[in-house]
Amino acid sequence: MIKAGIIGATGYAGAELVRILLGHKDVEIKWLGSRSYIDKKYASVYQNMFQLIEGNCLDDNIEELVKQADVVFTATPQGFLASVMKEAYLEQAKFIDLSADYRLKDVKIYEQWYKIEHKSPQFIQEAVYGLCEINRGQVKDARLVANPGCYTTCSILTAYPLVREGLIDADTLIIDAKSGTSGAGRGAKTANLFCEVNENIKAYGITSHRHTPEIEEQLGYAAGRKMTVSFTPHLVPMNRGILACEYASLIKKPDGSLPSESEIRGAYEKYYSGEKFIRLLEPDVFPETKWVEGSNFVDINFKIDERTGRIIMIGALDNLVKGAAGQAVQNMNLMFGLEESEGLAFVPLFP
Amino acid sequence: MIKAGIIGATGYAGAELVRILLGHKDVEIKWLGSRSYIDKKYASVYQNMFQLIEGNCLDDNIEELVKQADVVFTATPQGFLASVMKEAYLEQAKFIDLSADYRLKDVKIYEQWYKIEHKSPQFIQEAVYGLCEINRGQVKDARLVANPGCYTTCSILTAYPLVREGLIDADTLIIDAKSGTSGAGRGAKTANLFCEVNENIKAYGITSHRHTPEIEEQLGYAAGRKMTVSFTPHLVPMNRGILACEYASLIKKPDGSLPSESEIRGAYEKYYSGEKFIRLLEPDVFPETKWVEGSNFVDINFKIDERTGRIIMIGALDNLVKGAAGQAVQNMNLMFGLEESEGLAFVPLFP
Amino acid sequence: MIKAGIIGATGYAGAELVRILLGHKDVEIKWLGSRSYIDKKYASVYQNMFQLIEGNCLDDNIEELVKQADVVFTATPQGFLASVMKEAYLEQAKFIDLSADYRLKDVKIYEQWYKIEHKSPQFIQEAVYGLCEINRGQVKDARLVANPGCYTTCSILTAYPLVREGLIDADTLIIDAKSGTSGAGRGAKTANLFCEVNENIKAYGITSHRHTPEIEEQLGYAAGRKMTVSFTPHLVPMNRGILACEYASLIKKPDGSLPSESEIRGAYEKYYSGEKFIRLLEPDVFPETKWVEGSNFVDINFKIDERTGRIIMIGALDNLVKGAAGQAVQNMNLMFGLEESEGLAFVPLFP
Amino acid sequence: MIKAGIIGATGYAGAELVRILLGHKDVEIKWLGSRSYIDKKYASVYQNMFQLIEGNCLDDNIEELVKQADVVFTATPQGFLASVMKEAYLEQAKFIDLSADYRLKDVKIYEQWYKIEHKSPQFIQEAVYGLCEINRGQVKDARLVANPGCYTTCSILTAYPLVREGLIDADTLIIDAKSGTSGAGRGAKTANLFCEVNENIKAYGITSHRHTPEIEEQLGYAAGRKMTVSFTPHLVPMNRGILACEYASLIKKPDGSLPSESEIRGAYEKYYSGEKFIRLLEPDVFPETKWVEGSNFVDINFKIDERTGRIIMIGALDNLVKGAAGQAVQNMNLMFGLEESEGLAFVPLFP
């Protein structure tokens, strides 16, 4: 049995980790860290866990935690893990960080977008960006995995094959993303009250959302050069789900024609045909967040717009599963040599 | 492997059966019956099943189905199963009926509340009312199980121990129940459109909802005599979940005092302490539908009101799981000698 | 022009007052009090008011406010108005209090249910309970009106004629009420976050909700004696609306028969036939909250249950309008000799 | 009093017209046409209108209707008005068509996108596109107004000043729009059931939505040349509201710099500073649909993205008001020489 510790177990992503790990046959949860609820019964914070989890919330004593755990998940605010990480910890346990601390290779970009100083830049190079479908090989050997953001996972996977194959002009990429409200966390803020979110949709973080540089860096690797994207997230009155609608100009062929639907489809299949968690939908069937709810799937499809010469790519995932906890467990499976999909065989819940 | 056939596989309850059976290690789905979608890919009707189910919808050929299946689930409109049932079928396969056809022992009451003629009353006596926690023994030996209604499962289990122990005056029982909209089915009706249900709550079926006689019959067995209840269902703008708030006068003790909280709690524990799917919550923690969503749990608690001499009992379940498909699988497990909770270990999804 | 001041103008009820008074041809808003947002532009707290209200939020300086205003609305936490009220203020302006401070005539009951000391009990007797349809005459001459609670307005009006006419046994009255989330206010609490409320229904304040004694007192006047009720509120995933489902045993006639539908209907008509804001629906059409949203209407209907000898009465209103701000303006209209419905002719918004 | 007739009075847009006209002091509704509910009480189809409207639904007898009405609103399926329109009708009454029949000047484009033959193209040239803020002058003299689509009103007004002033490259315009579900109408379709829409977001009509050519034509007039746009609508789980997020490349100045924020703001102010129903929000405050709900406002703002050289423009309106019925009444006011905002002074409902 893999012994797992979670720091930040009472946020929505942390709680989803608990839900998933409870059903994972090779894992035992040893530590439910939650600074806000120390010594409180975990199941009194998440009543859905009543009779399923008996333990209390513990503090953030990593020193002690790494002695007891084989793997540590940190579902913590930006800057937390960077501020406490030590080489000694990495020698004792594997780390999967759901925050952004080790996602960006360029510490200056991190500090610029997150507006905090990075306290342990020495681990950034070692950290593996845990987008399993793309970095599977490196994840297997990693001690420290930077689990991708929810918007980024969806945004990158939706465009990746076309960027990689040079079928679209990367500089024209515009990502209009929509998220359920669990992405905003469980903090008590007026803006996230039911009455403020319900019957409402809004864009936020316009031109400044922190997932932007993460998308640019990763898709930049695929493009083979630096690139910028326009990324606009929206808050949608639903609990879970991210839908990314991505626009880009197709690169014309020498004869001036656009790539055909089958060429585009072929590119997607080239990268994803063996992927268990990526479902390339059938032509003219487009992703909807409800179809992936509660599961680790990413649904993807596209449509060529002959009139404008653009392609519209659409992806959907559950922000708490493939966008956070599910992907973290997928990374853990890889790191411990388990079947990659172990404990993740959730059939989407509908309706 | 148990071979299962589902008739009515494209209604919400049928689809939930598919979801649950897909994850059941001892079951193989052999027949996805759906009169409305014959020859259509099942996964095109429920896109969440894309790549998980390859088969097409089939018609309602029970003759053929019972040859291929060990167990037949019927998630069909009232009257369907009664109109086709034959002794020969029961000799070939076990039946679990999610409709009301065999729930009421008195055929006249069935015909009065459902306003249809019962076409095979000869099977009513044999049918076992599949409320596992109460009729476990009989279910094990049954060929034909009448799977209880969603409202009834919640309403009965919430009050059962107190009725059975004579702690409340059964004739004062009032059940005010609230349901998510999936209980109304997937039929295209104006009243169930998003814009009609959203931002709205209403009562319906006032004094006339068909689950009333079912509750009365079953709680009547517990009371040891005929009884009537007031039952009022409400439609709530959410997908899943039933909450039942039940009111009854406590029977005073000879000295005029009311039963104590510990006496009441003791009664619940007497019947439910060993039950895996019934969670009697801690004092002053009351059920919420979100805490059981996607799971087979029923959460229950109560509060004594000294001022009025009444008790308020509250129960919550997921109408598609414990209120329909989950309970059906629980019945199947019992009928086939499997672990009762096999395939039903869902951790509730929150948020 | 009537000069109006609002204390607590940035809560949901306060903001609804602003919305309604903005459209009232005889009123000018002079004071937008909000302790939390002093000196902030009101329209930056409620962006729906952008370009409609230019002023800033002011503090709670009642001394100054009563010099400028003819009427003061207090949409403030319990205890606030009681703690500051002085005879001098009442001589300068009329007060309409949306809190509970002057609703209950028995100060002990107030202190017992609200768990705070009442700081100015000397004004309780003078205060008029502002349920316009019942206390219209007294409201006209009042200096201090206690504006009824949202649950209470709905609960009382739904049962009042039958209690008053002795058609139901008042001691059997059970009120199961459901409310939209705006009733919980705009305070930033985890329990009111979108993700906690959405896809969820729960009961709360079971046997202990503070509107209970208010209902008991007012219906007690109608009954001509003290009475107790069971009152259970529920939180529903919608912004606005209250639905009350009320159960009571009908009083049998000397011949043992129940009152007829036309007798019951006659009782409702006796009290409500001339009421502009109470709509007694046609037989077998039952109230839904959406049908009154944004309006000052209360929709009411009932059903006799011959089987149980009970009647089910159902009422619906918009908790922020007839349940708070609309009723406050209705009271103001009466107090200032205006047409009672002035500024309240809202057609319900559907969908 | 202006006598108004409505054909299609029981769709959501028709019902919103009824709501608005009920409160319009210069209008009397003479005809509530609804083919589906002929002879049924209108208030039984829309119970929110109980006691506010006594009349029954009538059929579509335009011959008779134009004798009784000064203005006819048609909130009917595409093709209806075109198939019945005659010069004689236009001589008897003014027409405001909420369908698309007379919106597109090029009949071939109409037939291509709507896949129906246009039966009265002879009226297309005369018809005025009723986007009041842009075509006010022509509307005043019109006999036949083509009331713009909901998505189009929002999309056009959000980008208009920048296209008109040549500040953005019109060919790079991408519009990602999101709509509440009332835009899908009141027809009973499975895809619009509560359980299918709730907790879900999806794109639809990708590259093929019928509002695309309407946007292209109108913005093309502003650009002074033909242009194409990418337009992707989404269905959001809320009743009302449209949010359009629009992306375009800014045209660089001769020195290679981008237009400044104040230049952009100046362009918006040039066209909209006197507009009562267009609210250009303060810098860094972005539109949300809830802030305009129930009102005739369009809220607009923008953000320059220096990194990508693009501008993000965002607009929000209530699809049933400014996106349909409110704009129709605004057109009517202009056509009859009334104050343009008469009957439209709705304060947005929040929450």
- C residues 217-246 closer than 8 Å to A (CB): 237-239
Q: Please give the Cα distance from B163 to B156 (Å, whole number).
A: 10
- Contact yes or no for B188 and D193 at CB 8 A: yes
Q: Which chain C positions have a beta carbon within 8 Å of D199's beta carbon?
A: 199
Among all residues of A, which ones are annotated catalytic? 150
Please give the structure tokens belonging to residue D159.
């980008």
- Contact yes or no for A23 and B348 at CB 8 A: no
- Smallest CA–CA distance, residue A193 to chain B, in Å, is 14
Under 8 Å between Cβ of C50 and D299: yes
Nearest-5° Cα angle at C278, C274 to C284: 110
Helix or strand holding residue A42 (H, E) = helix A42-45
- Contact yes or no for A351 and B182 at CB 8 A: yes
User: What pLDDT score was predicted for residue B334?
Assistant: 98
Please give the structure tokens belonging to residue B93.
């396969």
Which amino acid, one-letter code, is at A351?
Answer: P
- Write down the residue that tokens 């199941």 correspond to: A43
The 10s digit of each residue's pLDDT in A135-175 is 999 999 999 999 999 999 999 999 999 999 999 999 999 99
Instruction: Kindly write down the DSSP assignment for every residue of A314-342, as one continuous string.
Output: EEEE-TTIIIIIHHHHHHHHHHTT--TTT
Burial class (CB within 10 angstroms; exposed 0-12, middle 13-18, buried 19+) of A18? buried
Quickly state the pLDDT bin for D183 (edges 50, 70, 90): very high
Q: Please give the Cα distance from D68 to D57 (Å, whole number).
A: 15
User: What is the distance of C-alpha C107 from the center of its chain?
Assistant: 20
Q: Please give the Cα distance from A98 to A328 (Å, whole number).
A: 7
Q: Residue D74 phi/psi, 5° resolution?
A: -115, 110
Establish if B47 touches chain A: CB-CB under 8 angstroms. yes
Under 8 Å between Cβ of D164 and D225: no
Nearest-5° Cα angle at B5, A351 to B8: 45
Please give the structure tokens belonging to residue A255.
């004869």
Which amino acid, one-letter code, is at C12?
Answer: Y
**B57 catalytic per annotation:** no
**Which candidate in B57, B150, B195, B245 is catalytic?**
B150
Please give the structure tokens belonging to residue D17.
């017209």
Under 8 Å between Cβ of C170 and C224: no
- Contact yes or no for B230 and C305 at CB 8 A: yes
The 10s digit of each residue's pLDDT in D39-87 is 999 999 999 999 999 999 999 999 999 999 999 999 999 999 999 999 9
Burial class (CB within 10 angstroms; exposed 0-12, middle 13-18, buried 19+) of C26? middle
Q: Please give the Cα distance from B89 to B60 (Å, whole number).
A: 13
Quickly state the pLDDT bin for D199 (edges 50, 70, 90): very high
- Write down the residue that tokens 């209200």 correspond to: C53
Question: From the list C190, C192, C195, which residue is nearest A182 (CB)?
Answer: C195
What's the mean pLDDT in D102-111? Answer: 98
Q: Please give the Cα distance from D129 to C76 (Å, whole number).
A: 49
Burial class (CB within 10 angstroms; exposed 0-12, middle 13-18, buried 19+) of C88? exposed
Under 8 Å between Cβ of A149 and A102: no
Q: Which residues, 6+ apart, have CB-to-CB distance to C266 below 8 Å? A: none
User: What pLDDT score was predicted for residue A219?
Assistant: 98
Which amino acid, one-letter code, is at A195?
Answer: C
Q: Residue A179 phi/psi, 5° resolution?
A: -130, 145
The 10s digit of each residue's pLDDT in D130-163 is 999 999 999 999 999 999 999 999 999 999 999 9
Question: From the list A47, A291, A345, which residue is nearest B47 (CB)?
Answer: A291
Under 8 Å between Cβ of A337 and B35: no
Helix or strand holding residue D72 (H, E) = strand D71-74
User: What pLDDT score was predicted for residue A44?
Assistant: 98
> What is the count of residue pairs from A and B with beta carbons less than 8 Å apart?
73
Under 8 Å between Cβ of B173 and B156: no
- Contact yes or no for A190 and C186 at CB 8 A: yes
User: What pLDDT score was predicted for residue B192?
Assistant: 98
Q: Which chain D positions have a beta carbon within 8 Å of B294's beta carbon?
A: none
Q: For B223, what's the count of Cα atoms within 13 Å in the CB-facing half-sphere?
A: 20
In the predicted model, residues of chain C with pLDDT beneath 70 are none
Under 8 Å between Cβ of D132 and D334: yes
The total number of residues written for chain C in this structure: 351
Q: Which residues of A174-184 are buried (b: 16+ CB within 10 A; e: fewer)?
A: bbbbbbbbbbb
Q: Which chain D positions have a beta carbon within 8 Å of A206's beta carbon?
A: 286, 303, 312, 314
Residue C324: strand, helix, or coil: helix
- Smallest CA–CA distance, residue C47 to chain A, in Å, is 12
As a whole number of Å, the end-to-end CA separation of chain A is 34
Q: Which residues, 6+ apart, have CB-to-CB distance to C67 below 8 Å? A: C92
Q: Which chain C positions have a beta carbon within 8 Å of A12's beta carbon?
A: 195
Q: Residue A253 phi/psi, 5° resolution?
A: -80, 165
User: What pLDDT score was predicted for residue C85?
Assistant: 98
Under 8 Å between Cβ of C350 and D14: no
Residue D265: strand, helix, or coil: helix
> What is the count of residue pairs from C and D with beta carbons less than 8 Å apart?
73
Q: Which chain C positions have a beta carbon within 8 Å of A193's beta carbon?
A: 181, 186, 188, 192-194
Q: Which chain B positions have a beta carbon within 8 Å of C289's beta carbon?
A: 199-202
Residues β-bridged to residue C164: none
Q: Please give the Cα distance from A184 to A173 (Å, whole number).
A: 25
In the predicted model, residues of chain A with pLDDT beneath 50 are none
3-state helix, strand, coil in chain B (%, to 5): 40, 20, 40
Q: Least CA distance to C291: which residue of chain D?
A: D48
User: What pLDDT score was predicted for residue A346?
Assistant: 97
Establish if A292 touches chain B: CB-CB under 8 angstroms. yes
Residues β-bridged to residue D7: D33, D74
Under 8 Å between Cβ of A287 and B38: no
User: What pLDDT score was predicted for residue B3?
Assistant: 98
User: What pLDDT score was predicted for residue C79?
Assistant: 97
The total number of residues written for chain D in this structure: 351
In the predicted model, residues of chain B with pLDDT beneath 70 are none
Under 8 Å between Cβ of B211 and B268: no
This prediction has a pTM of 0.98
- Write down the residue that tokens 């529903």 correspond to: C236
